[in-house]
Amino acid sequence: MAITRLDASNSLREALARHYQNEGVADEAWHIGPEHPALERTALEILETLDGRRVLEIGFQAGGFAVPIILTLHQDPRFRYVGVDNLAYTNSVRPTTIENFLRSRVTPGCYEFIQSDSTRFLKTLAPSSIDLVLLDHFKPLYERDLLVLCRRGVVKAGGVIFLHDVHAGAASAWRNCSHLVRTFGLQVDVRADVPAGLAILRVPFGVRPRRLTMISSWTITAGRVAKDDAILHTRRAVGRFLRKVGLRS
């Protein structure tokens, strides 16, 4: 069933395009990237190996992952999808627009789209409440959100965390996550067959993180973006001062 639905991905994309047009969404205001449907195929393959079907996507944007996953699994009583997005990107489609596409096609109550800051939302989740997480949002936040997932034990032992774009836009973010992979004993598989690269992190059974490393990780990740911004502003201020006193042209 999963493969049959995903083989119709071109038809699904066309149906979404018509829906967004009818809903008044401009063509340039939504985008479904080349990682689809390979990303969904990989997720479905892995979900078939797990007992649960609880899926969380951070950064649902235009529904390129969410819609085919929901259409494929909505009749499975174990399935529930939650998508989170702060809608900051210009190609992020509003939840109600995606829901309007799904409402007449799938079993009600198996999905939810939430507008929220990713880290704030992750801190509300109970331990072992999710089987598969996809991080595909603002790349500098990968490290911080991966830390929250692991520290709080949100993903069930044996479950998986996806980090997309690790061979492209998220390459630097992926390198920053390496210490968390070691600290929490995550098993790593990087798939090049998913365009832009997909890191699959499997949560092990019975591994306790090393406390000192974990505390250090939080210290690093909590302020990384703010620190980078502060350095940039300081450099600009110094440059303006040097030009003012004639030491720089």
- Asked whether residue 227 is assigned to any structural domain, the reply reads no
Asked whether the predicted pLDDT for residue 167 surpasses 50, the reply is: yes
Give the residue, 125 or 218, on which the prediction is more confident: 125
Asked whether the predicted pLDDT for residue 238 surpasses 80, the reply is: no
Q: Which CATH number belongs to the domain containing residue 103 in this structure?
A: 3.40.50.150
- Asked whether residue 217 is assigned to any structural domain, the reply reads no
Residues whose CB is less than 8 angstroms from the CB of residue 35 and which lie 6 or more positions away in sequence, other chains included: 64, 164, 165, 194, 195, 196, 198
Q: Which residues of 187-226 are buried (b: 16+ CB within 10 A; e: fewer)?
A: eeeebeebbbbbbbbbbeeeeebeeeebeebeebbeebee
Structure tokens at 80: 């529930």
Mean pLDDT of 151-177: 97
* pLDDT tier for residue 207 given thresholds of 50, 70 and 90: confident
- Asked whether residue 233 is assigned to any structural domain, the reply reads no
121 neighbors 129 (Cβ within 8 angstroms): no
- Asked whether residue 38 is assigned to any structural domain, the reply reads yes
> Residue 2 has what pLDDT?
41
Mean pLDDT of 107-134: 97
Count: domains in the chain = 1
Residues whose CB is less than 8 angstroms from the CB of residue 77 and which lie 6 or more positions away in sequence, other chains included: none
- Asked whether residue 15 is assigned to any structural domain, the reply reads yes
- Asked whether residue 50 is assigned to any structural domain, the reply reads yes
The C-alpha atoms of residue 55 and residue 155 are separated, in whole angstroms, by: 10
What phi and psi values does residue 207 have, to the nearest 5 degrees?
A: -100, 125
The C-alpha atoms of residue 196 and residue 193 are separated, in whole angstroms, by: 9
Give the residue, 95 or 237, on which the prediction is more confident: 95
Nearest by Cα to 183 from 161, 213, 155: 213
Strand pairing category for 198-202 and 187-191:
antiparallel
Q: How confident is the model over 43-77, as pLDDT tens digits?
A: 999 999 999 999 999 999 999 999 999 999 999 99
* pLDDT tier for residue 191 given thresholds of 50, 70 and 90: very high
- Asked whether residue 235 is assigned to any structural domain, the reply reads no
Give the residue, 229 or 162, on which the prediction is more confident: 162
* pLDDT tier for residue 128 given thresholds of 50, 70 and 90: very high
- Asked whether residue 49 is assigned to any structural domain, the reply reads yes
Domain that holds residue 160: 2-210
Read off the amino acid at residue 142. Y
